Amino acid sequence: MQDHSNSSTEIRRKHSKTTNESGAPARKINPRRSTHASRESRLTDRDAGTKRHARDWSAAVPPGPEAGAASDMQAPYRPMFSPDAVEMRFVCGAFGERGPSTAWFRLRRPLVRGEVASPLQRLAAAADFGNGISATLSWDDWVFINPDLTLYVERQPSGEWICLQARTRIAAGGIGVSESVLYDERGRIGRATQALLVARR
């Protein structure tokens, strides 16, 4: 009598490969398709992260100049560009306080007599204050002069007020950097950076 036990076992093995535990036909996994799906998932995650990052950078406009406090800066001599030619209103921090601050700026007078300042001129005049309003060292003991000012402008500013959200970092060796996010009353305009030369007075 022929023994069919081995044949039955082989049939069961083949059957188990083509069905899942519930008895339904098992789906074959295509390695190529799996890799493609995994890549799509990574791309989707990356796109979502990019959108989240973009939302983080398009922050809301700080409180307006009407909510700010006038600067109590004591000018060492007069006339001086600030406060004689520029009005400052702080909505976070204050002049002379150490650390980041946010302030609005408006020209009180033309930069050149008889000429109306252009939007970019007004922006540059305000952006140059980033290191001054976010100092991390004492004004009495240190100087932190900015030999340069770089503006990254996303659109033309509108209106007479310009806002700076400014922060300064000082590294070892007398090098520092000030960074400011720039706004007008409509929203974000761009960013300003200043390299700083730091030294004792």
Give me the tens of pLDDT residue by residue for the chain, a chain 201 residues long. 545 545 444 444 444 444 455 455 555 545 554 444 444 444 444 444 434 434 444 468 999 999 999 988 777 767 888 778 899 999 999 988 999 999 999 999 988 999 999 999 999 999 999 999 999 999 899 999 999 999 999 999 999 999 999 999 998 888 899 999 999 999 999 999 999 999 999
Could you tell me which residues are beta bridge partners of residue 194?
178
CATH classification of 65-200 is 3.10.129.10, yes or no?
A: yes
Structure tokens at 55: 């939302």
CA distances from 43 to 35, 37, 38, 50, 54 (A): 12, 10, 9, 10, 16
Q: Domain-by-domain residue ranges, the chain?
A: 29-58, 65-200
Cβ atoms < 10 Å from Cβ of 168: 25
Dihedral sign computed on CA atoms, order 19, 23, 25, 30: negative
Alpha-carbon gap, residue 90 to 103, rounded angstroms = 4
